[in-house]
Amino acid sequence: MAILRREGNLYLLDLGDDENRFTTDAVAEMAEAVAEVTAAKGERALVTVATGKFFSNGLDLDVLLSETDRAPGYVRSVQRLFSDLLTLPAPSVAAISGHAFAAGAMWALCHDVRVMRADRGFFCLPEIDLGLPFTWGMTALLRARLSPAVAHEAMVTGRRYGGLDARTAGIVDEAVADDEVFSHALAHAERLASKASDAMGAIKARLYAEVVGQLNAPDAT
């Protein structure tokens, strides 16, 4: 269960303490959280956190692979969530204290700033090993948020990046000790909260216009 709470001008979105997959319920809860932050006024920032081994282990594969009638609509809802966070009119920070895999890794990339644990946990796009091609929208997102060389390596080889490797590759902004991930994420959010505005939303929407168009295309495959 994804739970949003507010502390001063910061919104904390807690993804949970298990694999934190993008179940149908979780996607709805996350979308509601992003909508609440979007609709709020004044200084604010969103920090996404999780506890346990995983930040997020990605899509619900039971829906994706077994419920073929639901899969297209399900993927569209996830991509709409990515689009909404990518264009959030407030700063967003991901506190990556565990594994960020597949859609969980993409969700992290939708944030403005990413702080990752240095000693344990991986950032990974394992779709190549699962035999699952990225959708056009996901491809556009990854191309926009990663350098060409890193996007190629991450998508084509499925490399697992530890925190320090992810920092070197520019995937995350900081790689710090486990007990510093949350505090550093909060520091970024507090520093940037005054930037929240309609202008920020417009800047992001124009900066990522092509990505948003692909993520919200009627055909999600």
What's the CA gap between 101 and 55, in Å, rounded?
Answer: 8
Residue type for 103, please? A
pLDDT of residue 48: 98
The whole-number average pLDDT for the span 214-220 is 88
Of the candidates 46, 24, 39, the one whose C-alpha atom is nearest the C-alpha of residue 189 is 46
Residue 209 has pLDDT above 70, yes or no: yes
Q: How does pLDDT run across 92-138, given as a tens digit for each residue?
A: 999 999 999 999 999 999 999 999 999 999 999 999 999 999 999 99
Sign of CA dihedral 161, 167, 170, 174: positive
pLDDT of residue 218: 85
The whole-number average pLDDT for the span 210-219 is 94
Residue 65 has pLDDT above 90, yes or no: no
Give the pTM.
Answer: 0.96
Cβ-contact 188, 129 below 8 angstroms: no
Residue 221 has pLDDT above 80, yes or no: no
pLDDT of residue 21: 96
**What average pLDDT does the chain have?**
96
Cβ-contact 123, 105 below 8 angstroms: yes
pLDDT of residue 43: 98
Cβ-contact 136, 214 below 8 angstroms: yes
Domain positions in the chain are: 3-215
pLDDT of residue 68: 75
The whole-number average pLDDT for the span 191-216 is 98
Just give the CATH number of 3-215: 3.90.226.10
Residue 67 has pLDDT above 80, yes or no: no
Q: How does pLDDT run across 129-176, given as a tens digit for each residue?
A: 999 999 999 999 999 999 999 999 999 999 999 999 999 999 999 999
pLDDT of residue 220: 67
Residue 69 has pLDDT above 90, yes or no: no
Q: How does pLDDT run across 26-48, given as a tens digit for each residue?
A: 999 999 999 999 999 999 999 99
Of the candidates 9, 3, 102, 115, the one whose C-alpha atom is nearest the C-alpha of residue 61 is 102
pLDDT of residue 62: 87
What's the CA gap between 124 and 105, in Å, rounded?
Answer: 7
